[in-house]
């Protein structure tokens, strides 16, 4: 059985080319990928994560709201009893990476991350979580 990964865009960020590439990379690596589409809220991402019984949630964030929205997604998921790890990718300054990790984000990806690194990191996060 393949791991189920939910990929979402939170907030008003309307750029979806990169997230679609990531979804395809993960699908081609053997993951079952659920893409929620644009303009989601932390609550809709959390609800989809619970409804789809996912093993991992990936957030694509290019709007600069990552320090607000990513922790809100993590909190909403935990409030709903979903303990799936959350990874975040996008335009995220290096000095924000630790703050995101302190807020419960398992990994941070920046533009240009190689496909192999993405797949390897997602698999490592899942292995660490026991998925």
Beta carbons of 9 and 40 less than 8 angstroms apart? yes
The structural domains of the chain, ordered by start, are 4-129 (3.40.50.280)
pLDDT-derived band at 27 (thresholds 50, 70, 90) equals very high
Residue 63: pLDDT over 90: no
pLDDT-derived band at 58 (thresholds 50, 70, 90) equals very high
Confidence at residue 13, expressed as pLDDT on a 0 to 100 scale:
82
Taking the CB of residue 106, how many other CB atoms lie within 10 A of it? Answer: 22
* CA separation for the pair 52, 106 (Å, rounded): 20
Residue 129: pLDDT over 90: no
Please state whether the predicted TM-score (pTM) of the whole model is above 0.85.
yes
Residue 30: pLDDT over 70: yes
Handedness of CA 18, 36, 10, 5 (dihedral sign): negative
pLDDT-derived band at 28 (thresholds 50, 70, 90) equals very high
Instruction: Calculate the average pLDDT of the chain.
Output: 95
Per residue in 70-123, pLDDT tens?
Answer: 999 999 999 999 999 999 999 999 999 999 999 999 999 999 999 999 999 999
Task: Give the strand order in the sheet containing 32-35.
Answer: 32-35, 4-9, 56-61, 86-90, 105-109
pLDDT-derived band at 131 (thresholds 50, 70, 90) equals low
pLDDT-derived band at 1 (thresholds 50, 70, 90) equals low
Beta carbons of 100 and 67 less than 8 angstroms apart? yes
């Amino acid at each position: 059985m393949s791991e189920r990964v939910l990929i979402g865009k939170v907030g008003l960020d309307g750029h979806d080319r990169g997230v679609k590439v990531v979804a395809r990379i993960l699908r081609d690596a053997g993951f079952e990928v659920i893409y929620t589409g644009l303009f989601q809220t932390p609550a809709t991402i959390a609800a989809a994560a619970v409804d789809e019984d996912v093993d991992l949630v990936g957030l694509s964030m290019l709007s600069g709201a990552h320090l607000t929205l990513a922790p809100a997604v993590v909190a909403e998921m935990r409030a709903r009893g979903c303990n799936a790890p959350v990874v975040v990718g996008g335009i995220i300054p290096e000095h924000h990476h630790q703050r995101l990790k302190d807020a419960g984000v398992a990994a941070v990806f920046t533009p240009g991350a190689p496909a192999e690194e993405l797949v390897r990191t997602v698999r490592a996060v899942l292995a660490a979580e026991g998925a």
